[in-house]
Chain A
């Protein structure tokens, strides 16, 4: 069974960089059938897609966050990572990593999710 686990600091100071890693077990991030994404959810609010990476290294970012986001992968560790720079209190959220399926041209969805990591931005 595929499992994803987020790890990283849970408290980040304003203006600094949020860094999270997603460790994938039970499957390989180099499998060409899948993409790997980050989604966040501010407390009491809805889901927001942050970005996605494919094993080739191709990345896709939410335009509203693109200037501050980098998603990368480490195939040797079967991990992918998120860096969000210049954070403010509005970046406080639960951050989820998830496996994404892009089925042809008409269907994109996330079938496995990590448990989520609450990251608080505060001094």
Chain B
């Protein structure tokens, strides 16, 4: 199966813009989705597909894709955005259709 690779840690100054990336060959064919997870809580879907936000997710969250890389961008990062972020996608293998990235811990300075 394919793997999805994320930087383990990323930091951003309050109010600035940050990009969190997810790399993998499967992303050349399939869209990624993104989840936010705060300590002790279940993951929350923040972006799915090309660049779609579920109801209730602020518009400072956006996504883009290029080649084998999917990116989650937070514009005007807020303190409450400090969390772990995971990407996921489908895989080309019919035997392992779902894959997750290893996660990125975002620190807001």
Which residues of A line the B interface, CB within 8 A?
A: 37, 39, 46-49, 52, 60, 62-63, 96, 100-103, 105-111, 113-116
B27-60 to A contact mask, C-beta < 8 Å, 1/0: 0011101010000001111001100001000000
Closest to B42 in A: A113
The 10 closest A-B pairs by CB, nearest first: A109-B33, A108-B90, A49-B98, A113-B42, A47-B100, A46-B103, A109-B48, A107-B31, A46-B102, A107-B49
B95 A63 Cβ-Cβ under 8 A: yes
A116: chain B residues at CB < 8 Å are 42
B97 A110 Cβ-Cβ under 8 A: no
B42: chain A residues at CB < 8 Å are 96, 113-116
Number of interface residues of B (CB under 8 A): 26
Which residues of B line the A interface, CB within 8 A?
A: 1, 29-31, 33, 35, 42-45, 48-49, 54, 86, 88-90, 95-103
Smallest CB separation, B8 vs chain A (Å)? 10
B48: chain A residues at CB < 8 Å are 101, 107, 109, 111
Closest to A60 in B: B97
A106 B31 Cβ-Cβ under 8 A: yes
A107: chain B residues at CB < 8 Å are 30-31, 33, 48-49, 90
B43 A47 Cβ-Cβ under 8 A: yes
CA distance A17 to B86 in the complex (A): 29
